[in-house]
């Protein structure tokens, strides 16, 4: 039965939609602080799903916020672009970030669907970012591995982790959180995006839909622990084809590792 309270709630929800609030929320970038505490003493920033050419956030605003956070390293977990026409803006954005700290990036499904692809991103971004395509790099005791997009079946985790066995800590960048099915117990931390937190979330119900195989729907947003491996899934900073968000504001993640 539709109680008065429920009716008022629904009316309020409809009024928000009618007033175009979801378009406004899509521009309201927040900083989320996450303490992973791997004992590395590294301050990092995690950005994901910038979706250049279909997003409505301010790239200059995001760069300014990242600068204020003074990270030692910046991670981008894919969907840099929605369409190829966003490439120039994406390049400028990554270049500005790289002046703050080294940038490590993995491709997402939309980077592939845009026609640019993983190798294309590597070429287009040049020295602006280190694009990790099923490979790893070492920074002292830390191994940073990155897989190509798991959602479109391009991830090769075994290859990405090759030669990292003696690292003190292993961090994995992957666009889609579904990589946790393979990565649990293999690395200390996985950073992912892809879900956008659902972009539109209803009170109590959560995300309406997620672009994930059903068994991974619980990894919609936030920090999880699977077999001792921590997984952080960010809501991302941009929006895909529809520039709207509800109860799911865009975020920049400030990590302490």
CA 126 to chain centroid, in Å, comes to 21
Cα 187 to Cα 38, 147, 161, 226, 244: the distances in Å are 12, 13, 9, 11, 34
| Residues whose CB is less than 8 angstroms from the CB of residue 83 and which lie 6 or more positions away in sequence, other chains included | 53, 54, 114
**Residue of 187, 251, 214, 206 whose CA lies nearest to 47:** 251
CB of 240 vs Fe ion, minimal distance in Å = 5
Nearer to Fe ion, 49 or 124 (CB): 49
Nearer to Fe ion, 188 or 236 (CB): 236
CB of 239 vs Fe ion, minimal distance in Å = 8
Element (H, E) at 222: strand 222-226
CB of 42 vs Fe ion, minimal distance in Å = 26
Binding site for Fe ion (CB under 5 A): 49, 79
Say if CB 173 and CB 132 are below 8 A apart: yes
Nearer to Fe ion, 76 or 170 (CB): 76
CB of 111 vs Fe ion, minimal distance in Å = 9
Ranked by CB distance to Fe ion, the top (closest) residue is 79
DSSP 194: S
CA distance 256 to 187: 17
CA 73 to chain centroid, in Å, comes to 15
CB of 222 vs Fe ion, minimal distance in Å = 17
CB of 193 vs Fe ion, minimal distance in Å = 6
Nearer to Fe ion, 79 or 149 (CB): 79
Nearer to Fe ion, 104 or 161 (CB): 104
Cα angle: 116, vertex 191, 90; to 5 degrees: 30
Nearer to Fe ion, 49 or 220 (CB): 49
């Amino acid at each position: 039965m539709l109680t008065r309270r429920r009716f008022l709630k629904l009316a309020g929800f409809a009024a928000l939609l009618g007033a175009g609030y979801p378009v406004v929320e899509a521009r309201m970038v927040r900083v989320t602080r996450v303490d992973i505490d791997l004992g590395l003493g590294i301050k990092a920033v995690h950005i994901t799903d910038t979706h250049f050419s279909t997003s409505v956030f301010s790239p200059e605003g995001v760069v300014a916020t990242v600068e204020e956070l003074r990270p030692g390293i910046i991670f981008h977990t894919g969907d840099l672009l929605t369409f190829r026409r966003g490439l120039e803006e994406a390049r400028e954005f990554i270049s500005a970030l790289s002046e703050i700290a080294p940038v490590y990036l993995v491709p997402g499904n939309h980077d592939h669907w845009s026609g640019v692809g993983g190798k294309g991103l590597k070429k287009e971004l040049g020295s602006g970012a280190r694009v990790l395509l099923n490979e790893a790099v070492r920074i002292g005791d830390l191994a940073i591995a990155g897989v190509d997009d798991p959602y479109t079946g391009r991830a090769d985790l075994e290859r990405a982790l090759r030669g990292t066995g003696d690292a003190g800590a292993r961090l994995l960048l992957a666009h889609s959180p579904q990589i946790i099915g393979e990565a649990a117990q293999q690395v200390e931390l996985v950073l992912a995006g892809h879900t956008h937190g659902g972009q539109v979330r209803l009170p109590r119900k959560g995300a309406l839909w997620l672009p994930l195989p059903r068994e991974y729907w619980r990894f919609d947003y936030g920090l999880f622990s699977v077999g001792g491996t921590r997984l952080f899934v960010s809501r991302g900073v941009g929006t895909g084809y529809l520039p709207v968000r509800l109860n799911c504001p865009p975020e920049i993640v400030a990590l302490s590792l």
